[in-house]
Every structure is written in C-alpha cells, then in structure tokens.
Amino acid sequence: METFGFASEPTGVVRSGPYGIFASGAGPYPGKVTMTGAKLFVYKAGAWIEVVSGESSDIGIFVATD
C-alpha cells in the first residue's frame, strides 16, 4: 500500500514510495523484490537501512532511491 511522509529523509533522491507493507498477524515476513536501477531502503529503528540483494527480513516501510 502506498503511504505518505517520511519519519526522516532517506539517502538519495526518492524515485518510488514510500510503500507500507503491513500484516495483521505476527511475523516476521521475509521477502524479495527486484527493482532495476534503484536502491531499496527499509525504515527500521529510526533509520533507513539498505535492503541488500532485494531481500528483506521483514515487512515495513520501503522506498526506492537513485
């Protein structure tokens, strides 16, 4: 689901997002995404963390940057 606003600015220029991935049940919910020509970040513990190889250990709020 596309969401709005940032708790803090991610590194780089945001190309897409933020997208909030949420669940009603207990996780974690790992997953993988492919986004050509962009870096993917997830917001965790007050900071934007790069999602290496497109693999996230859980759901959350994501953005793609240059």
**At residue 3, does pLDDT exceed 90?**
no
Per-residue pLDDT reduced to its tens digit, 11-59: 889 998 899 999 999 989 999 988 888 999 999 998 999 999 999 999 9
- In this prediction, residue 1 carries a pLDDT of 59
Closest by CA to 19, choosing from 40, 42, 37, 2, is 2
Omega cis (within 30) before 18:
yes
Helix (H) or strand (E) holding 43: strand 39-44
Q: Distance between CA atoms of 24 and 26, rounded to whole angstroms?
A: 7
